[in-house]
Amino acid sequence: MKNKILISTLAFTFSTFAIADDNQKVNDRLNDQRIQAESSVTHIRNQSHVQSNSVQDVKKNESSTLSITKEELAKHPDLVVRALIPAVAQGNADNVKLLYPIYQQIPEQFKDSTLTQWSQAILAKQQGDNSQAIKLYRQILAENNDIHPVRLQLAVALFENNEMEASEDQFQKLRAEKMAPQINNIIDQYIQAINKRDRWTFSGGLTYLNDPNINNAPKAGTQYGNWIAPKRESAEGIGFNFNIGKKWSWGNGFYNELRLNTNGKYYWDNKKYNEVTGRASVGLGFQNAKYNIELLPFMEQTLYAGGSAQSDTLKRFSKGSGVALESHYWLNPQWQLNANYEYAEQRYTARKHLNGNYHFVSTGLAYFPKATQYWFANVNYNRTSTRDKDDSFFRRGISLGWGQEWDKGLSTRLSFNIAEKQYKAPMPIFGITQRNKEWGMQASVWHRAVHYWGITPRLTYNFTRTRSNHVFYSYDKHRIFLDFSKQF
């Protein structure tokens, strides 16, 4: 019940207040921002110049004031809580510092765990301990994910702690809510400041892999004529990815960007399927708070053990070069449009029949009805042309998904995809032009309060089903991943 009262009060308070922290700065490009209440509100402030141990309650009629000592205020727990709520909603560290010691003295039945943690977060931030403040803000949102002032203060704390990607993610979530125009302006200014930052970014992750059908074999005993399908192989190991990025801003929204990406899989019990891919991109882009477009020429190299029992040593497998075009546009605070195109020429060290090129196009919509929920839909098309026509194909796909932050800290993400893959010529041995239908489902779950060193573990289940007009290429696959990712 106390939480409901607190949240209801905050809903009113946040409609008239912004975060008003005198020490808060976006960066040198932004002025200190405060949103003043358009209607009258109650404001507690230190009156040391009047009397050293008193506070003053400024009422709607400013000519009528009430002075009360800290000792007297402590005898009225309801007044203490009423005064502390707008102080934390504003992010007013001076008032919180004044009121929180009094709040600590009131009977336990008047205290609220959210209000306690919120006060501690603001005081930690004032003392320069952004990491502790971020931890406390995350704990609050794990229990009550619809307190928007907390999310805004978390976004600011992440910004000041130089965790730009995480900060931008929180600001983007707030965009989906119906905020006062002044708050939307502040959100836009922060996002613009993040975009203008010429910074190195580092991210990476490890994923535990346990694949029961690493070679995508059909069910045991499958035959086609006199041919017998290979047996299924399993593999257990670690997937990894590491990424480095850097932007150089020109001004007026233009910038250059460098990206260095690597990803791979290491299977300790089936090393012939080990692989590593590295990509380097240098490009030109334009962005503002609502729109981004980027052209990225790239070069890529893949090492692969070969999938053969003859060797489990990584060796050069293929190389490629091409260009990627990426863009996204916020149609309004709830809807985002994404579009991507990629073209590349590929050359293979041993498998010359795979030499060729590909075109990949995708476009999608993301809908954010509120900060704790999003939906997305995507359509994509891939056309791969190789030297041998029986390896050339086109693939059309659709994916749908839903993400949700639940109460008590639980978060989930669910996605479905369907695709059709059509090859261009018959396979030489079987005389069949392969046609595949693919279905997939992926479900992830994690707890937002389980957060160590910036890492939240995620448990993911993935199901894939492929049905082909050639029985050797029909299979089902169930996989479970445990993912650990970090943005620096």
Segment among 224-228, 303-307, 391-395, 397-401 with least mean pLDDT: 224-228
Q: Bridge-partner residues for 226, per DSSP?
A: none
Type of residue found at 179: M
Mean pLDDT of 269-285: 96
Mean pLDDT for the stretch of residues 9-25: 39
What average pLDDT does the chain have? Answer: 83
pLDDT greater at residue 463 or residue 30: 463
- The 3 state secondary structure assigned to the chain is CHHHHHHHHHHHHHHHCCCCCCCCCCCCCCCCCCCCCCCCCCEEEECCCCCCCEEEEECCCCCCEEEEEHHHHHCCHHHHHHHHHHHHHHCCHHHHHHHHHHHHHCCHHHCCHHHHHHHHHHHHHHCCCHHHHHHHHHHHHHHCCCCHHHHHHHHHHHHHCCCHHHHHHHHHHHHCCCCCHHHHHHHHHHHHHHHHCCCEEEEEEEEEEEECCCCCCCCCCCEECCEECCCCCCEEEEEEEEEEEEEEEEECCEEEEEEEEEEEEEECCCHHHCEEEEEEEEEEEEECCCEEEEEEEEEEEEEECCCCCCCCCCEEEEEEEEEEEEEEEEEECCEEEEEEEEEEEEEECCCHHHCEEEEEEEEEEEEEEECCEEEEEEEEEEEEEECCHHHCEEEEEEEEEEEEECHHHEEEEEEEEEEEEEECCCCCCCCCCCEEEEEEEEEEEEECCCCECCECCEEEEEEEEEEECCHHHCEEEEEEEEEEEEEC
* Confidence check: pLDDT of 57 > 50: no
Query: Distances in Å between the alpha carbon of 353 and those of 97, 319, 386?
Result: 71, 14, 7
Which residues contact residue 472 at a Cβ distance below 8 angstroms, ignoring those fewer than 6 apart?
A: 218, 222, 224, 227, 229
What's the whole-number mean pLDDT along residues 15-30? 34
The answer to whether the CB of 164 falls within 8 A of the CB of 198 is no
Asked if 177 and 371 touch (Cβ cutoff 8 Å), the reply is: yes
**Highest mean pLDDT: which of 110-124, 211-225, 374-388?**
374-388
**Torsional sign, CA 25, 455, 89, 79:** negative
Q: State residue 67's pLDDT score.
A: 65
Question: Is a pLDDT exceeding 80 seen at residue 159?
Answer: yes
Instruction: Flag the least confident range among 31-35, 68-72, 125-129, 417-421.
Output: 31-35
pLDDT of 384 over the 50 cut: yes
pLDDT of 318 over the 60 cut: yes
CB 136 within 8 Å of CB 158: no
pLDDT over 90 for what percent of the chain? 53
Locate 46 and state its tokens: 């230190």
Average pLDDT over residues 339-366: 97
Nearest Cα to Cα of residue 483 among 240, 287, 309: 240
**pLDDT higher than 70, residue 56:** no
> What pLDDT, on a 0 to 100 scale, did the predictor assign at position 66?
58
Q: Please write the tens of the pLDDT for every residue from 445-479.
A: 999 888 777 788 999 999 999 999 999 999 999 99
Q: Which two tokens stand for residue 200?
A: 């190195």
| Distance, CA of 157 to CA of 172 (rounded, Å) | 15
Beta bridge partners of 295: 284, 325
**Amino acid identity, position 459:** L
| 38 confidence band (pLDDT: 50, 70, 90) | very low
Is 96 in contact with 81 (CB distance < 8 Å)?
Answer: no
What is the identity of the amino acid at 399?
S
The pLDDT value recorded for residue 146 is 85
Domains of the chain and any CATH numbers:
70-194 (1.25.40.10), 201-487 (2.40.160.40)
The pLDDT of 334-359, averaged and rounded, is 96
With a cut of 60, say whether residue 132 has pLDDT above it: yes
pLDDT, position 309: 64
302 phi and psi angles, rounded to 5 deg: -120, 130
Average pLDDT for residues 324-346, to the nearest whole number? 95
Q: Tokens for 49, please give them.
A: 């110049």
Q: How far apart are CA 248 and CA 85, in angstroms?
A: 42
Interhelix angle 148-160/164-175, nearest 10 degrees: 150
Give the per-residue pLDDT at 49.
33
Residue whose pair of structure tokens reads 């749908």 in the numeric block: 400
Mean pLDDT across 230-255 = 89
pLDDT at 277 > cutoff 70: yes
Please, what is the end-to-end C-alpha distance for the chain in angstroms? 39
CA distance 477 to 216: 8
CA angle 130, 159, 375 (to 5 degrees): 115
What pLDDT does residue 451 have? Answer: 77
Q: Give 353 or 48, the one with higher predicted confidence.
A: 353
Report the pLDDT averaged over residues 141-150: 88
Measured between alpha carbons, how far is 414 from 76 in angstroms, rounded to an integer? Answer: 48
Note the pLDDT of residue 32.
34
